[in-house]
């Protein structure tokens, strides 16, 4: 799924996250997959969470293991409290702890406002917002139990919430999705404020348009791609690796003083490109 224009991967230092244990949700596809692989390349042991598609998850595990680190695929629906608790407990039992959570799992159920069913609204909020709440809560319990281990990281834990440019850009026809990401922004900032004194860093990444299955309609014909590029000053659609590299940096001690920030990785999509001429 990576595009030929995507960022190079061999620049990641293999010892950047050495000895750390990372959990990536929705890691058998798209951004989660690329992030899990990049974290493994950076030296972390990685749990690849998936809700459906075990085969893809096992492929990701195989790719990560080729870097000489440990990886395993765990099935869990992030919107189900019992399953999230069980997944985190299992990771602590089998990997020893959790140092990094990338709360990435997400989906869309699009509809014009008056056609949107309560089920469509609820599903997106359950997975995109409540799912991040549950995973962050369980990971935080483990960070607090363990505390800082200076040989591993300056922080007791790092949480990276996968948001979207739609945490600030309204998106007609996607009120459930945009509301979920707006919620992620405020959840992330509130958690960052609450947990920073405990040496837990909570941040978010807001991707722009990244080529993954979630938005295939927006890029898989030349016409659609042309339309999309009008919104992207940097003039290329993003690759999953563009986001994965931001996650590696945010998870590492290189960015230890970054707390409660949203890193927009969007080729300039949030720069009001409509104003580049005129306005």
Question: For ligand NAD, which is the closer residue by CB, 157 or 267?
Answer: 267
Residue 33 C-beta: closest distance to ligand NAD, Å: 7
Question: For ligand NAD, which is the closer residue by CB, 91 or 156?
Answer: 91
Q: How many Å separate Cα 256 from the centre of its chain?
A: 18
Among residues 177, 234, 257, 264, the one annotated as catalytic is 177
Residue 208 C-beta: closest distance to ligand NAD, Å: 6
Residue 78 C-beta: closest distance to ligand NAD, Å: 4
Residue 265 C-beta: closest distance to ligand NAD, Å: 9
177 included as an active-site residue: yes
Determine contact, residues 99/20, Cβ cutoff 8 Å: yes
Token digits of residue 150: 């200076």
Token digits of residue 41: 């390349």
User: Using CB under 6 A as the criterion, which residues of the chain lie in contact with ligand NAD when the complex forms?
Assistant: 25-26, 28-32, 49-52, 77-79, 104-107, 127, 131, 162, 164, 207, 209-210, 212-215
Q: How far apart are the first and last CA of the chain?
A: 37
Question: For ligand NAD, which is the closer residue by CB, 31 or 139?
Answer: 31
Question: For ligand NAD, which is the closer residue by CB, 38 or 51?
Answer: 51
DSSP-H helix ranges across the chain: 30-41, 54-65, 81-95, 118-125, 131-146, 175-195, 222-229, 240-251
Cα distance between residue 243 and residue 42, in whole Å: 14
**3-class secondary structure, 110:** coil
Q: Which residues carry out catalysis?
A: 177
């Amino acid at each position: 799924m990576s595009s030929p224009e995507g960022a190079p991967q061999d620049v990641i230092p293999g010892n950047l996250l050495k000895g750390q244990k990372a959990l990536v949700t929705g890691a058998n596809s798209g951004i989660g997959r690329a992030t899990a692989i990049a974290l493994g390349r950076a030296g972390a042991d990685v749990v690849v969470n998936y809700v459906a598609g075990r085969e893809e998850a096992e492929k990701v595990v195989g790719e990560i293991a080729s870097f000489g680190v440990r990886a395993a695929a765990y099935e869990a629906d992030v919107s189900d409290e019992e399953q999230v608790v069980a997944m985190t407990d299992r990771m602590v039992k089998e990997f020893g702890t959790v140092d990094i959570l990338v709360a990435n799992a997400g989906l869309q159920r699009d509809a014009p406002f008056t056609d949107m069913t309560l089920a469509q609204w609820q599903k997106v909020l359950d997975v995109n917002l409540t799912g991040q709440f549950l995973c962050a809560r369980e990971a935080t319990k483990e960070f607090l139990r363990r505390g800082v281990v200076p040989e591993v990281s300056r922080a007791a834990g790092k949480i990276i919430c996968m948001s979207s440019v739609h945490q600030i850009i309204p998106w007609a026809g996607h009120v459930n999705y945009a509301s979920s990401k707006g919620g992620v922004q405020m959840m992330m900032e509130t958690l960052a404020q609450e947990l920073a004194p405990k040496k837990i860093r909570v941040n978010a990444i807001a991707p722009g348009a990244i080529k993954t299955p979630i938005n295939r309609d927006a890029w898989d014909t030349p016409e659609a791609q042309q339309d999309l590029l009008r919104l992207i000053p940097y003039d290329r659609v993003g690759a999953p690796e563009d986001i994965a590299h931001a996650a590696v940096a945010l998870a590492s001690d290189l960015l230890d003083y970054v707390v409660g920030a949203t890193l927009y990785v969007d080729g300039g999509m949030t720069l009001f490109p409509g104003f580049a001429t005129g306005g």
